Every structure is written in structure tokens, then in C-alpha cells.
Amino acid sequence: MPLRASSIRTQLKRRMQQHDEMESFALAETFKYFYVLFAPPGTLDFGKIVFNTEAHPLRRTW
């Protein structure tokens, strides 16, 4: 069975309708986290940056 992703068009009806569309941020955030997980050691200095919930790196100023 192939991997599939779908959004839900509506939840108000008795039977949920799937929508054949995926938001772009779903893959963008996933790939950013894959990069963080599998990047060579030393690529990112986690003492100087933090990531927000949308996987955007932020320079640590505290």
C-alpha cells in the first residue's frame, strides 16, 4: 500500500470527505526536521540556534 496524505474537506457531515490536496508546509517542515536529524555533526550549533514549532531556525540571543 503506497504512502498517501490527504486533508479533510469537512467534518460536519456524517461521513468525512477527503480532499486531494496537501498543504505545502507539511512537507517543508518535515524536510527541515529530517535535515536537522540527519545533518553531519557540527553542521548546526544547537548552543546558538533554536527551532520554533514551524521548524524555522532562530538565532539564540539569551
Cβ atoms within 10 Å, residue 60 = 11
**17: β partners:** 10
What value does the mean pLDDT take over residues 17-40? 80
pTM of the complete model beyond 0.75: no
Residue 2 lies in a domain: no
**Tell me: the pLDDT tens digits for 36-58?**
889 898 888 888 999 888 778 89
Query: Residue 23 carries which DSSP code?
Result: -
Distance CA 20, CA 7 (A): 7
Distance CA 19, CA 17 (A): 7
Number of domains in the chain: 1
Owning domain of residue 54: 7-59
Residue 48 lies in a domain: yes
